[in-house]
Amino acid sequence: MADAALPNQAAAGEGAKPNGRRKKLLGIIAVLVLIAAVIFGAYYLLVSRHYVSTDNAYVGADTASVTPMIAAQVASVAVADTQTVRKGTVLVRLDDSDARIAVAQAEADLARAQRQYGQTSATSTALAAQVEARDADIARARAQLVAAQADYERARLDLERRQRLAPNGAVSGEELSSATNAFATARANLELARAGVAQASSTRGQATGQLAANNALIRGTTAATAPEVLAAQAKLAQAKLDLERTVIRAPIDGVITRRNVQVGQRVAPGTALMLIVPLNQLYVDANFKEGQLDRVKVGQPVTLTSDLYGGDIEYHGRVIGFSGGTGSSFALIPAQNATGNWIKVVQRLPVRVALDPKELQAHPLRVGLSMDAEIDLRSH
């Protein structure tokens, strides 16, 4: 019996050893898990909770669309896609034949307007001289009227005297007849003199009206400020501007993309010829989950990395604004949840991040590239 119990005790001892090791291992694992939880909690409290990050971010830019301002035929195209250009670089030249003709026509119109102003000014001088001449005519007519009035009075008195003497036979019939004729002639001359004064006054009034009308055209103006001259100068300036617009230049620094213009093509105003992407003025639209944005403020620093260069190259920027709506709300076909659909989809709101131009110059990016963005929430 004693001999039979010894193997059972040995087996029991051997089974207790693995159980003891298992408990010890589980204890070690529990301690490690606890340590990891403490470390994670400490990291979250001290570091992680002060940052929010997303890998749903993309490079964007306010591109410049190159469009002609006039209708013309394309004479030459000086750039190609992917070419880097500086502000003011000649991109496209349009045929300037019509524009040059328009400039010549506008210059001729300006010269004509200036000449017409000079002619109008000279006409005023001539009309002023005519008014003075009409004044002299009036003075002469009035002098003739005074003489005719005197002749009329003398003839009237002479006729009255002879008419008083005629009944006594002191005056012959011939003398009476001559006096009557002289009186009639003097009266006619008087009427003629009065008509002459009236005609001279009327002529002077007409000359004065012409002078006033002509002066109204040039009053308060000079050869440089006359309305007709200013209108002609404006047309000339427009023609010269259209001539300058036959040479299309780059409005900003950047890279040419989507060039769709060819030599010989006739373009209309507003036709999109190409786009220019400003590589030194890029930004990032980072799409954060709505639950991440409660502490995000404008001006907070952002650290970004690009898939193009990897995590070794970091970009630094700042939050400059938030979109007016989520990405799905501005989609071409916005999502519409049907009645009874209780699945809640977490929405993302685009956050605009401005990048450092110096870092962009050192490591250029392109529109549409993927980025990882992390916002430091400790700055308010």
Q: Is it true that domain 64-96+242-276 has CATH number 3.20.20.20?
A: no
Q: Indicate the helix (H) or strand (E) that contains 328.
A: none
Q: Identify the DSSP state of 378.
A: T
Three-state SS for 363? coil
Cβ-based burial of 179 (10 A; exposed 0-12, middle 13-18, buried ≥19): buried
Q: Where in the chain is the domain with CATH 2.40.50.100?
A: 64-96+242-276
As a residue count, the chain comes to 380
Confidence of residue 1 (pLDDT cuts 50, 70, 90): very low
pTM for the full predicted model: 0.65
Asked if residue 3 has pLDDT above 60, the reply is: no
Give, in degrees to the nearest 5, the angle at Cα 30 between 29 and 34: 115
Q: Is the pLDDT of residue 158 over 50?
A: yes
Contacts (Cβ under 8 Å, ≥6 apart) of 28: none
Every domain of the chain with CATH number 1.10.287 lies at 99-240
Q: Report whether pLDDT(179) > 70.
A: yes
CB 275 within 8 A of CB 35: no
Asked if pLDDT for residue 339 goes beyond 60, the answer is no
More confident residue, 144 or 243: 243
Tell me the residue ranges of DSSP E strands in the chain: 51-60, 64-66, 72-77, 84-85, 90-94, 247-249, 254-257, 266-267, 274-277, 283-289, 301-306, 310-322, 348-355, 370-376
User: Is the pLDDT confidence value at 186 over 50?
Assistant: yes
- φ, ψ of residue 58 to 5 degrees: the values are -140, 145
Please compute the mean of the pLDDT values over residues 211-226 and round it to a whole number. Answer: 73
Q: 99-240: what fold?
A: Helix Hairpins (1.10.287)
Could you give the CA distance from residue 319 to residue 304 in angstroms, rounded to a whole number? 12
State the sign of the Cα–Cα–Cα–Cα dihedral 249, 255, 258, 261.
positive
In the predicted model, is pLDDT for residue 293 greater than 80? yes
pLDDT digits 0-9 by tens, 80-114: 999 999 999 999 999 999 999 999 999 999 999 88
CB 53 within 8 A of CB 223: no
Range with the lowest mean pLDDT among 8-17, 57-66, 179-188, 341-350?
8-17
Question: Measured between alpha carbons, how far is residue 279 from residues 64, 140, 253, 265, 363 in Å?
Answer: 12, 89, 8, 29, 10
Looking at beta carbons, which pairs linking 195-199 to residues 24 or more positions away fall under 8 Å?
196/141, 196/144, 196/145, 197/138, 197/141, 197/142, 197/144, 197/145, 199/141
For residue 87, what are the CA distances in angstroms to 70, 251, 252, 279? Answer: 21, 5, 4, 13
pLDDT at 153: 84
Q: What is the rounded CA–CA span in Å between residue 160 and residue 169?
A: 15
pLDDT band per the 50, 70, 90 thresholds, residue 190? confident
Tokens 């002077």: give the residue: 204
| Dihedral sign, Cα of residue 186, residue 189, residue 195, residue 200 | negative
Q: How many CB atoms lie under 10 A from the CB of residue 242? A: 21
Nearest to 286 by CA among 5, 56, 97: 56
Strands of 274-277's sheet, edge to edge?
Answer: 64-66, 274-277, 254-257, 84-85
Q: Nearest-5° angle of CA 260, CA 263, CA 267? A: 65
Question: Which residues have a Cβ under 8 Å from the Cβ of 354 and sit 6 or more positions away?
Answer: 283, 317, 318, 320
Read off the pLDDT of each residue in 333-349 and give the average, rounded to a whole number.
68
C-beta of residue 376 within 8 angstroms of C-beta of residue 343 = no
**pLDDT tens for each residue of 27-55:** 788 778 877 877 767 655 555 568 899 99
